Chain A
Amino acid sequence: MDRKLRDRLVYWAVWLGCASPLFWLVWLGFTDGLTANPIEKIIRSLGDDGLYILIIGLAITPAARILRQPRLIRFRRTVGLWGFSYICLHLLMYVGVDQALYWDALFQDILKRPFITIGMAAFILLIPLAVTSTNGMVRRLGPQRWRRLHQLIYLIVPLGVVHYLLMVKLDTRPPMMFGAVVAALLAWRAINRLAPGRAAPKRRRPAKAEPAATAPPVLGRGGEGG
């Protein structure tokens, strides 16, 4: 299969994968599947999905390196923006429907309830990443600063997991699983960074030199961030 077609297919697969939780929610809505408490079901599902997708975003770089598929890196933006969209919807439902008649109480909750404070902080930190996701912004900031800024995701995702963990009434197993996966992904990065001979950033090779067999053991870091 030629690369252009393959890239298009992968692109649509990623897009479909990211959109499917939303389609699923709509399907549940039409088939009476949102439980007796649909607002809560929707808010929780959107939060879960947003976190899943952001975690998948965190997994792309390790996957690209381990599988030696550098072209996967390009999907981080799509995945990240989808994650951000779910979190936006999650927050919008919470503020616009769940708390709609009690906004003064909402502000108190943001200050007083750690899980809401933390969730809100994570959301606010996501905003600059979404805003600077365009090619133009990468150019304007320069790869170095852009990468530095986008390393915020290493803080944001754990905050999301803590937000989830603090919300759970009793059964902490699901957020702990999220946490374990995130810890593994971050640990992989820490180890990679500390590993000898891997500290110096390498330039990405021109496209024609890219077939897997000749790809460098460490795929370029320049402009790709961590």
Chain B
Amino acid sequence: MIRNAPDLRDCDVTDRNLYLRRREFIGAAAAGAGLGLLGAGAARAALPPARKSPFSTDEKLTPKKDITSYNNFYEFGVDKGDPERYAGRLTTKPWTVTVDGLCAKPSKFYVEDLIKHFPLEERIYRMRCVEAWSMVIPWTGFPLASLLKAVEPTSKAKFVAFETVLRPAEMPGQRQPILDWPYKEGLRLDEAMNPLTLVTVGLYGDVLPNQDGAPIRIVTPWKYGFKSAKSIVRISLVDRQPPTAWNLANASEYGFYSNVNPEVNHPRWSQATERRIGELFRRKTLPFNGYGEQVASLYKGMDLRRYY
């Protein structure tokens, strides 16, 4: 199914070593849950080795239990516990992602093939929700840029649109008119090509749990969480800013950019501080969620109050 699959000859041995070390590290982080973790790993197809990334933070990881039980994934319901309750109904195999639009080689990929062909990295990112809470999450994935380069965007492509799967039979939230289903998100092409933008297939070294956007999702750590579309089936290269789900629902509160910005408050609540899950008191929110070094240049000269 992969056309023009990138030639990935490098660093098998290194990956394997790091893979083993990562296991130790996970074991330490999830001490009590160690057995359960191994059990789950054995039951599922394990991910190929993932190397560490210089983009990872060394902050304390949010426990896996919290990352998998406190989710905003309205396809399964608006309660934060709904995704964990209902996401088991979603069948994630087989799963294809269509990459199309303004590119030379539009293609349809099986997720397994993507996982095999792109070298995986572990990226420990901060995740800042627009609701003013945050987590530190060890994702596994590969840069979206690698995938986009594989389909060769044309010079007309300016934006990238993401579309989440539409399956009301398996996703109870989609049977209610909460958002304009299917969920749509988008990035400017240069944002999509930024090395931080991650196509994500794993969490804590395992296959991504359904409630976290299995089998494949986007992660843009300098933007509010809702910009990171989950369970995606289509990535389209387009010439115009694509419509996005939360912007359609309430344009005055959720802009297309939605970069984490302590200076620009949500109309109804402050974005100056956040609660890191697991901590009692709030901490200050950082501009671009602390990723300014990597992404601030994307917005040079832009009025970030206007383009919120």
* Residues of chain A at the chain B interface (Cβ within 8 Å): 35-37, 39-40, 97-102, 105, 108-109, 113-115, 166-167, 169-171
- When chains A and B are docked, how far (Å) is the Cα of A114 from the Cα of B273? 19
Partner of B178, one of A102, A109, A115, A171: A171
Q: Which of B58-89 contact A (CB under 8 A)?
A: 62, 65-66, 69-70, 74, 78, 80-81
Shortest Cβ-Cβ A-B pairs, 3 listed: A36-B66, A36-B70, A171-B78
- When chains A and B are docked, how far (Å) is the Cα of A108 from the Cα of B272? 12
- When chains A and B are docked, how far (Å) is the Cα of A99 from the Cα of B277? 15
Binding site of B, secondary structure by majority: helix, strand, loop or mixed?
loop
Closest to B173 in A: A171
Q: Are B70 and A35 in contact (CB under 8 A)?
A: yes
Q: Are B249 and A170 in contact (CB under 8 A)?
A: yes
Please indicate the chain A residues that have their CB under 8 angstroms from the CB of B277 in the complex: 36-37
Distance in Å from the Cβ of A43 to the closest Cβ of chain B? 11
* Residues of chain B at the chain A interface (Cβ within 8 Å): 62, 65-66, 69-70, 74, 78, 80-81, 131, 133, 178-179, 249-250, 268-270, 272-273, 275, 277-278, 280-282
Q: Are A39 and B270 in contact (CB under 8 A)?
A: no
Partner of A39, one of B62, B78, B80, B275: B275
Contacts A99-B282, A170-B178: A40 and B269 contacting too (C-beta < 8 A)?
no
Please indicate the chain B residues that have their CB under 8 angstroms from the CB of A171 in the complex: 78, 178
Closest to B133 in A: A37
Q: Are A105 and B273 in contact (CB under 8 A)?
A: yes
Please indicate the chain A residues that have their CB under 8 angstroms from the CB of B249 in the complex: 170
Q: Are B268 and A39 in contact (CB under 8 A)?
A: no
- When chains A and B are docked, how far (Å) is the Cα of A99 from the Cα of B278? 16
- When chains A and B are docked, how far (Å) is the Cα of A105 from the Cα of B249? 28
Please indicate the chain A residues that have their CB under 8 angstroms from the CB of B268 in the complex: 113-115, 166-167
Please indicate the chain A residues that have their CB under 8 angstroms from the CB of B278 in the complex: 36
Q: Are B80 and A105 in contact (CB under 8 A)?
A: no
- When chains A and B are docked, how far (Å) is the Cα of A35 from the Cα of B70? 7
Q: Are A35 and B281 in contact (CB under 8 A)?
A: no
Contacts A101-B281, A113-B270, A170-B250: A35 and B179 contacting too (C-beta < 8 A)?
no
Closest to B129 in A: A37
Please indicate the chain A residues that have their CB under 8 angstroms from the CB of B273 in the complex: 102, 105
Please indicate the chain A residues that have their CB under 8 angstroms from the CB of B275 in the complex: 37, 39-40, 98
Please indicate the chain B residues that have their CB under 8 angstroms from the CB of A97 in the complex: 280-281
Please indicate the chain B residues that have their CB under 8 angstroms from the CB of A166 in the complex: 268
Partner of B282, one of A35, A36, A98, A109: A98
Distance in Å from the Cβ of B82 to the closest Cβ of chain A? 11
Distance in Å from the Cβ of B250 to the closest Cβ of chain A? 7
Contacts A37-B70, A37-B275: A170 and B270 contacting too (C-beta < 8 A)?
no
- When chains A and B are docked, how far (Å) is the Cα of A7 from the Cα of B41? 60
Please indicate the chain A residues that have their CB under 8 angstroms from the CB of B250 in the complex: 170
Q: Are B281 and A100 in contact (CB under 8 A)?
A: yes
Contacts A36-B277, A170-B179: A102 and B282 contacting too (C-beta < 8 A)?
yes
Distance in Å from the Cβ of A7 to the closest Cβ of chain B? 39
Q: Are B81 and A35 in contact (CB under 8 A)?
A: yes
Distance in Å from the Cβ of B130 to the closest Cβ of chain A? 8
Closest to A115 in B: B268
Distance in Å from the Cβ of A24 to the closest Cβ of chain B? 15
- When chains A and B are docked, how far (Å) is the Cα of A109 from the Cα of B282? 15
Closest to B179 in A: A170
Please indicate the chain A residues that have their CB under 8 angstroms from the CB of B280 in the complex: 39, 97
Distance in Å from the Cβ of B86 to the closest Cβ of chain A? 16
Partner of A170, one of B69, B78, B81: B78
- When chains A and B are docked, how far (Å) is the Cα of A170 from the Cα of B39? 38
- When chains A and B are docked, how far (Å) is the Cα of A143 from the Cα of B179? 51
| 24 A/B residue pairs, CB under 8 Å, sorted by A | A35-B69, A35-B80, A36-B62, A36-B66, A36-B80, A36-B277, A36-B278, A37-B70, A37-B80, A37-B277, A39-B280, A40-B275, A98-B282, A101-B282, A105-B270, A113-B268, A113-B270, A114-B268, A115-B268, A169-B131, A170-B78, A170-B179, A170-B249, A170-B250
Q: Are B70 and A105 in contact (CB under 8 A)?
A: no
Contacts A37-B133, A170-B178: A109 and B70 contacting too (C-beta < 8 A)?
no
Residue of B81, B131, B270, B275 with highest tally of chain A CB at under 10 A: B270
Q: Are A36 and B78 in contact (CB under 8 A)?
A: no
Please indicate the chain B residues that have their CB under 8 angstroms from the CB of A102 in the complex: 272-273, 282
Please indicate the chain B residues that have their CB under 8 angstroms from the CB of A36 in the complex: 62, 65-66, 69-70, 80, 277-278
